[in-house]
Structure 1
Amino acid sequence: MSHRWLPLAAIGVSVVLWSAAYVVSGWALETTSPAVLSVGRFAIALLVLIPLAARRPGLVRTLRQPRTILLGLTGVTLYYSFANIGLLFTTPGTAALTAAFLPVLTAGAAVLLIHERPTRRTWWGLALATLGVGLVAASGFRVDVGVLLNIVALASYALYTVLLRKDAGSADAPDAIVLATATGVWGTIIMLPWLAWEAFSGTIAVPGDVRGLVSILILALVVTAPTLVLFNYGAERLPAAVSGVATAAIPALGYGFALLLGEPLDPIKAIGGAIALTGVVIATLAAPDIEPSPPGSALPEPAELATETLARAREKTPGPDR
């Protein structure tokens, strides 16, 4: 039973780190251009991840797989590019509230693309989480260009989450560190033309103060590297809808961080955050009842499959009385 809770714990820690990233990214963008921030945080994170992944089998093979390139494009390049550009047009708090759309986008993508069938508790959790983040957003949400760009980023990340789940469970699947590293490598490579465009257009800007530099280091070493590994680990092993609902905690946790930093208490936001977190708990409690077979395939367990195959072989083999 315990091994089934490890993916939930991994997703939970990644969501907590993710919730703090909006404020730190806003600090970095005060003096840093979006491409420099995006490429810089991943380049620094890869300095830690590559040596770890190189000690494990399958890194080169994983880098060559088309699936890894697609994961890098959706989960790194498109998500972080649109999210960081969006922060130039909206506040970190508003961007964090926009994350309320991610659970719905992920659940919808899971149903449409891999025909995943969420449990009844997952649907109830999704409904409560959506209601909760809706209440949080009602107190301070406004639609602007930054919000629209962040929704595009979230749609890309929803696709990334579903892709992680879609091809998980194969015999030659890499471990979380290898996959996270390979995904980060491709995502960073695909972002390099954007960085070159900033350089040629004269819009490139490197951190101009200590806070900007420290913000990038925090994003790289405290947020990006751990979150990439932990979320990959959890999302490969949980239904995509459950992983998506867990992200509903981001707006609530983001508001909690704001309270710790001195923001006045808003009862509506507080109630909405509590409802959202309740929905997350209800949805994630459904995870241990999910069979650990690939999503949408309804495959039997390996032992059952072996028994069934052996039985069919015996039926086809002539016996001594035939």
Structure 2
Amino acid sequence: MTHSTISARPSPATWLPVAAAGVTVVLWASAFVSIRSAGAAYSPGALALGRLLAGALVLGAVWLVRREGLPPRAAWPGIAVSGLLWFGVYMVVLNWGEQEVDAGTAAMVVNIGPILIALLGARLLGETLPPRLVAGMAVSFAGAVAVGLSMSGEGHASVLGVLLCLLAAVAYAGGVVAQKPALAKASALQVTTFGCLVGAVACLPFAGQLLHEAASAPLSATLNMVYLGVFPTALAFTTWAYALARTTAGRMGATTYAVPALVVLMSWLFLDEIPGLFTLAGGALCLAGVAVSRSRPRRGAVVARHDGGTAAAPTDPRRAGKR
């Protein structure tokens, strides 16, 4: 077995962040199905608070068992901002916005978020915008628009709803960009646990609504709210933070464009909502764009060093394969 064959095997450091990102997008896609049930019985603020309390309880238990301690002082600004914007503002205004507009319109507007993440990451974090990332995001956004248009209902939209979804996209982008530097100082579990706690504290004014609505809500709605807290919040935000700490904010934001395609698939499987050809085409575009945005050019220099020990290897994969 040659040295080049051994090095071709993906190491855990390579595939674990990809797997973590995959867990995140699957669970976030499942959240849309659960929100449909819980949102019928709980108001936007109460649903956000109940979800965050369930998430904070699970995360706090894991944090205590692992004995990771408090995050370093340098990580707190990013944790506080991401907790307020992403865990707090985003969840409340998105729940509210989806009551004012149909799901398709909400999906289209909120999917501006990954583009804002890439732009803010370049501006505030000094991240680059590789051509493949830009091209992939363009393809995915076109797919998200196609899915949104195909899912949009007639006559169920308002200026307020669109503005709320736009605010949700801005809060989401700001939260991700604020979270990225914090992950250089603290662990994914610390950042997620205390970010979720900050969001829960910010939503405490809705505690009265939550208690009142929980008393009359059907069990299925309450169970869906708990599910949202345990899986799409506690688990998915932790796997997100783990992956974000190992890549750029722009690339992670682009990965979330897989969510609309997965929502279409889950609605088909679990809600018997058969998608049309336009919807399926949009979902395929979303996935194709994610694949492009996360791909990397082949490194001919690596092959050259393994074969001949030289650093001046061709970057063209076709020429590299002829050596």
Q: TM-score, normalised by structure 2?
A: 0.79
2:180 to 154, 158, 165: 165
| Structure 1 match to 2:314 | none
Q: Residue in 2 aligned with 1:184?
A: 196
Q: Return the match for 2:287 from 260, 271, 277.
A: 277
Q: Deviations over 1:31-79 (max 9, x none)?
A: 1122221111111222221121124455324588232211211120111
Contact 1:26 1:87 in 2 (8 A): no
Structure-1 residue corresponding to 2:146: 135
Does 2:268 match 1:259? yes
Q: 2:213 aligns with which of 198, 205, 222?
A: 205
Deviation per CA, 1:163-185, whole angstroms, max 9, x where unpaired? Answer: 2223443xxx2221122111111
Q: How does 1:34-73 map to 2 (within 5 A)?
A: 34-56=44-66, 58-62=68-72, 65-73=76-84
Matched to 1:218, the amino acid is Y
| Mapped partners of 1:89, 1:73: distance in 2 | 23
In 2, Cα distance between equivalents of 1:233 and 1:288:
25
Question: How many residues are paired up?
Answer: 282
* Alignment check: 8 A CA contact 1:239 1:287 kept: no
Look up the match of 2:223.
214
Specify the alignment match of 2:244 in structure 1.
235
Partner of 2:296: 286
Separation in 2, partners of 1:237, 1:129? 22
- Give secondary structure in 1 for the equivalent of 2:213: coil
2:38 equivalent to 1:4: no
SS across alignment from 1:24: helix
Per the alignment, residue 35 of structure 2 pairs with 25
The residue aligned with 2:320 is: none
| Partner-residue secondary structure (3-state), 2:50 | helix
Distance 1:271 1:243 in 2: 23
The range that moved more, 181-190 or 254-263, is 254-263
Q: Structure 2: which 5+ runs fail to align? A: 1-9, 300-323
Deviations 1:175-225 (A, max 9, x none): 2112211111111111113435x58xxx95225111111111211222211
Normalising by structure 1, we get a TM-score of 0.79
Task: State the distance in 2 between where 1:180 and 1:82 align.
Answer: 20
**How far 1:116 moved relative to its partner?**
1.4
Kindly indicate whether the alpha-carbon contact (under 8 Å) linking 1:28 and 1:212 is maintained by their aligned counterparts in 2: yes
Q: Which residue of 2 aligns with 1:316?
A: none
The reply to whether residue 249 of structure 1 matches residue 264 of structure 2 is no
SS at match of 2:100: coil
Structure 1 runs of 4+ with >6 Å offset: none
Which residue identity is paired with 1:263?
A: E
CA distance in 1, matches of 2:166, 2:24: 20
In 2, distance between residues paired with 1:61 and 1:277?
A: 36
- 1:237 is paired with a residue of what secondary structure? coil
| Corresponding residue number in structure 2 for 1:307 | none
Q: What amino acid is the match of 1:18?
A: W
Q: Distance in 1 between matches of 2:226 and 2:145?
A: 33
Relative to structure 1, is the Cα distance of residues 230 and 67 closer, same or farther in structure 2, using a 3 angstrom cutoff? Answer: same
Stretches of structure 1 that go unaligned for 5 or more consecutive residues are: 290-322
Alpha-carbon spacing, 1:95–1:22, altered in 2? closer, same or farther (3 Å):
farther
For the aligned residues, what is the CA RMSD? 2.5
CA contact (8 A) 2:70 2:190 kept: no
Report the counterpart of residue 223 of structure 1 in structure 2.
Answer: 232
Partner SS state of residue 283, structure 2: helix
SS of equivalent to 1:117: coil
Q: Distance in 2 between matches of 1:82 and 1:275?
A: 28
Identity %: 28
